[in-house]
Amino acid sequence: MRGEDVTDADWIAVDWGMTNLRAWAIGADGGVLDSARSADGMGMLDAGQAAFEAALIRVIDPWLPGSHARDVVICGTAGARQGWHEVPYRPVPAPAHDRRAVTTAPARDPRVRVSVIHGMSQTNPPDVMRGEETQVAGLLLRSPDFQGVVALPGTHAKWARIVDGEIFHFASFMTGELFALLAERSVLRHSLDPQGHDAEAFTDAFEETLSRPERAAARVLGLRSEDLLLDADPRAAASRLSGYLLGLEFAGARAYWLGQPIALLASGALAERYRTALEVVGADYRVHDPEACVLDGLRAVRAGLRG
Amino acid sequence: MRGEDVTDADWIAVDWGMTNLRAWAIGADGGVLDSARSADGMGMLDAGQAAFEAALIRVIDPWLPGSHARDVVICGTAGARQGWHEVPYRPVPAPAHDRRAVTTAPARDPRVRVSVIHGMSQTNPPDVMRGEETQVAGLLLRSPDFQGVVALPGTHAKWARIVDGEIFHFASFMTGELFALLAERSVLRHSLDPQGHDAEAFTDAFEETLSRPERAAARVLGLRSEDLLLDADPRAAASRLSGYLLGLEFAGARAYWLGQPIALLASGALAERYRTALEVVGADYRVHDPEACVLDGLRAVRAGLRG
C-alpha cells in the first residue's frame, strides 16, 4: 500500500482458497498498490465461470477503470473441478513453479484476461493441492537453498517435503474444515466460543491427542459433556478443539516434521498455534510470511506469461 | 402392529434421539398397537417446550382422540438442555433403571401427560447419555444376568460397561454426527454417495484406521483426492468414510471391546457395519433388537409411574 492511484494497476494477483478470496493490485514495478479480500472461497460458490467471475469482479472492480484489459493471475481453487475452469495437476516430484503450467480461463468481462495456475498431484497416497504450490514456489524464490518441509496451515492443511528445489511428496489434512464444521454445525456449537484463545487448554489438548490419537472422536464429544457437567469455559473448549485437531494432524504428519527443518507459512492466530505445536514437538522451524510467498510465486508466473 | 384401533392406546412410548423421534402407541396389555417416526430429532429443533411439543403432537396426534389425557413416557434428548425440559443426570455407577428418575414436563395440550426419563452422567472422563440408559435398562430386563459391554451405535455412539446389573462406566463417540457432517457439509459431499454399501471398502478402511488411527484426518480428505485423480466409486468412498470413522471409534473404545462379551443394540445397515467390525477384532458378541430393548425400558418406567 503506497498511496498510488490503484487504477494504475499493471496486473492483479489472486489467491483463491476454500474459505477466502484474496486479491492484490500490482504496480508496474511489481509493488503492491492495494489489496482486498472476500469470504467467497470455493466452499461458498456454485461451480462454474458465472459465480466465480462475479465473485472476482466484486472484489477487484475498483482496480478496473475503462476497458483496458488487465492480466489477472490466479492460484488456488478457481482451477478446481468445482471452480471457475478446471485446469490440470502436475504430478510430483516437480518444481513448485513451472512457467508452462498456466491455463487461460474464459471471462465475459473485457477488462480481465484470466490465467489460472495448475495444481499438483500425487499418486501414492492420492493427494492434490491447488494454490499451495504457488506459495512454495515463492518461498523457494526467496530461500533458494531451502531443504526440508513446508507446513501450510489452512482449511485443508498441507505438509510438503522439498528436495533439491522440487516438491517431492506431500500430505493434506482436513484440520481447518473439521474445526469449522464442528464449531459451527455440530452439537458442540452450543459449547464453544471460537473468539479468544486459552493457550494452556490448547497445549494440553494438543499433547493429549498427539500421544493418544485414537481417542480423538471421544475427546471431541467430551467438550460437550464438560460444558453440561462442569460449565467449562466456551473459549477454553474452542481452544481444546483446536488442540485436538492439530494433535491429530501432527500425529499423522510425524514423518514430515520429525528431524526436518520446517518452514511454517502462516500468520496471525494460526501461526501462533502451529508455533506452539512445533515447540511442543521440538521441531527446528522458521516462520515465513505467507502473503509475501504467494505474491512472489504469482509474480514469477506473471513474468513467465509476458516472457 | 396387531390391527386394533389405535385410539385404544393406553399410553405412548417415545425415544427422542439427536436425529429422529420414534413413538409407539401401547395397548392396555403392554403390546404395541402402532408406531410412527419423524426426522425431528433434537438436532433439527429449537430448544424449549414449544418446538418439542409441536413435533411430538405431529407424530402422535392420530392416537389422541378427544380430551382423555394419556401418559407419554419419553427417553432421550427431550430432557437435554436444548430439549423440551431439562431433567437431571444420575451419576454412574448406578442401575440403568430407577423408577424415581422421571420428571413431569410442562405441556399445553390437555391430551398428554409427559414424563421425561433422567439421563446418566460420568465424572472421569466427563460424559453424558440420554436415552441409551433406557435401552440398557430394557436389555437387562430381558437378560438380567448379562455382564460385559453394551455397544449402542448412533449419532453419538456409546459403549457402556455393565457390572452386577449397573452401568459402571461408559464412553461416547461422535461417529454418526461426524459421518453426516462430512458426507453432507464438507468438500467430500462431491465425492460420496451414502446410498449402497461396498463391504470390502468398508472393511479395508476400518482395519487401516484401527491400526493407524493417527492417519484419520489425512485419510478422510484422501477420499476427495481419490475421486479427483482416480474417479473412485462414490459408493465405495462413502463406505470407506464409514470404515475410517468406525475404525477411529474402535481404536478409542479398545478398553471396552477387548476381552468382553458384547451386546450390540443395533438393527439394519448400522448393525451390519458393527457386526463386521466386531468380527474383524474377534469380539464375542450378540445382537439384540434395540426397539425391543427401549420399549421394555420405557414399559418399566411407565409401570413405576402407576405403581
The reported pLDDT for the residue numbered A217 is 87
Nearest Cβ partner for A126 among B81, B127, B222: B222
Q: What cell was used for B10?
A: 393406553
| pLDDT higher than 80, residue A66 | no
Per residue in A200-230, pLDDT (tens digit) is 999 999 999 999 999 998 999 999 999 999 9
User: Across the interface, do A126 and B220 touch by the CB < 8 Å criterion?
Assistant: no
Kindly indicate the confidence band of residue B190, based on its pLDDT and cuts at 50, 70 and 90.
very high
At residue B213, the pLDDT reads: 94
- Contact call for A214 and B123, based on CB within 8 A: no
- Which band of pLDDT confidence, cut at 50, 70 and 90, is reported for residue B35? very high
Shortest distance, CA A177 to any CA of chain B (angstroms) = 7
Whether residues A67 and A152 share a domain: the answer is no
Are B24 and B107 contained in the same domain?
yes
Domain CATH for A199 = 3.30.420.310
Query: What is the tally of structural domains in chain B?
Result: 2
Q: How many CA atoms lie within 13 Å of B20's alpha carbon, on the beta-carbon side?
A: 10
Using the predicted structure, report yes or no on whether residue A21 has a pLDDT greater than 60.
yes
Residues A150 and A226 in one domain: yes
Average pLDDT, chain A: 95
Q: Which of B65, B100, B130 is the last residue of a domain?
A: B130
* B155 inside domain: no
Tell me, yes or no, whether A264 lies in a domain: yes
Span A116-135, mean pLDDT? 97
In terms of DSSP bridges, do strands A284-288 and B32-38 run parallel, antiparallel, or are they unpaired? Answer: unpaired
Average pLDDT value for residue range B149-164: 97
The pLDDT tens digits of the residues spanning B106-138 come to 999 999 999 999 999 999 999 999 999 999 999
Band of the pLDDT at A278, cuts 50, 70, 90? very high
Q: What are phi and psi of B179, to 5 degrees?
A: -60, -45
| Tens-place pLDDT, residues A130-172 | 999 999 999 999 999 999 999 999 999 999 999 999 999 999 9
Residue B146 lies in a domain: no
Nearest to B102 by CA among B130, B127, B128, B124: B130
Q: Which residues of chain A does B18 touch, with a Cβ-Cβ cutoff of 8 Å?
A: 187
Residue B93 has pLDDT above 60, yes or no: yes
The larger pLDDT score, comparing residue A167 to residue B7, is at A167
How many Å separate Cα A14 from the centre of its chain?
A: 12
Task: Flag whether A133 is in a domain.
Answer: no
Pair A231, A302 in one domain: yes
pLDDT of residue A4: 58
Identify whether residues A179 and A92 lie together within a single domain.
no
Q: For residue range B242-287, what is the model confidence (pLDDT) as tens digits?
A: 999 999 999 999 999 999 999 999 999 999 999 999 999 999 999 9
Closest Cβ opposite residue B221 in set A156, A215, A228: A156
Among B158, B174, B227, which would you mutate to test the A interface (most chain A Cβ atoms within 10 Å of its Cβ)? B174
Tell me, what's the pLDDT at B4? 58
Q: Tell whether B121 and B191 lie within a shared domain.
A: no
B270 in a structural domain: yes
Has residue A1 been placed in a domain?
yes
Q: Which pLDDT score is estimated for B66?
A: 77
Q: Are residues A159 and A299 in the same domain?
A: yes
CATH code for the domain in which residue A90 is found: 3.30.420.300
Cα radius of gyration (chain B):
20
Claim to verify: residue B209 and residue B267 sit in the same structural domain = yes
The answer to whether B246 and B273 are in contact (CB under 8 A) is: yes
Establish if B152 belongs to a structural domain.
Answer: no
Q: Is residue B144 part of a domain?
A: no
Give residue-wise pLDDT tens across range A71-93.
999 999 999 999 999 999 999 99
Contact B217 A178 (CB under 8 A): yes
**Within this chain, do residues A77 and A175 fall inside the same structural domain, yes or no?**
no
Question: Which chain B residue's Cα is nearest to A129?
Answer: B225
Residue A234, pLDDT > 70, answer yes
| Amino acid B2: pLDDT | 46
Residues of B in contact with A217 (CB under 8 A): 173-175, 178, 245, 248-249, 252
Q: Which of residues B74, B101, B130 is at a domain's end?
A: B130
A166 and A215, same domain (yes or no): yes
Of B127, B217, B228, the CB nearest to A174: B217
| pLDDT more than 70, % of chain B | 98
Q: Quote the minimal CA–CA distance from A26 to chain B in Å.
A: 32
Examine the fold and report which residue of B130, B163, B196 is the final residue of a domain before the chain moves on.
B130
Among A82, A249, A254, beta carbon nearest to B217: A249
Is residue A121 located within the same domain as residue A148? Answer: no
- Burial label, B306 (beta-carbon count in 10 A; 0-12, 13-18, 19+): exposed
Verify that B123 and B179 share a domain, yes or no.
no
**pLDDT given at position B233:** 95
Domain with A178 in it = 144-307
